[in-house]
Amino acid sequence: EAQVTQNPRYLITVTGKKLTVTCSQNMNHEYMSWYRQDPGLGLRQIYYSMNVEVTDKGDVPEGYKVSRKEKRNFPLILESPSPNQTSLYFCASSFTRLAASTDTQYFGPGTRLTVL
């Protein structure tokens, strides 16, 4: 089954404790991205990756890091989480960035993160 998986689905942590949210897709997609969804703000892109070892900042990259060592995985790293990073996070993938812009991205189920 074609899918994007994220782990964990729910996480409560404390300020400053490094964490990683994993994302994996099994569709051989080149393009992957991370979004956060906040009430009243919709979906905002954090980082994206056009292919292995190619990553770039989205609209709200501050406080986040990513890596793309393998095509299928795109982990989101919070080195020192803060309460303003409490949010619902979605990983997404598509064949290309153009495909994401004109057709469809496949989204993971989301990770709800609470930073105390």
Residues that bind other proteins (CB under 8 A): 4, 35, 40-45, 59, 90, 92, 97-98, 100-110
Closest to other proteins by CB, 19 or 99: 99
Closest to other proteins by CB, 85 or 93: 93
Q: How far is the CB of 55 from other proteins (least distance, A)?
A: 15
Q: How far is the CB of 69 from other proteins (least distance, A)?
A: 23
State the number of CA atoms in the 13 A half-sphere of 99 facing the CB.
Answer: 14
Contacts of 115 (CB under 8 A, 6+ apart): 13, 14, 15, 81, 82, 83, 84, 85, 86
Closest to other proteins by CB, 69 or 102: 102
Structure tokens at 71: 């095509």
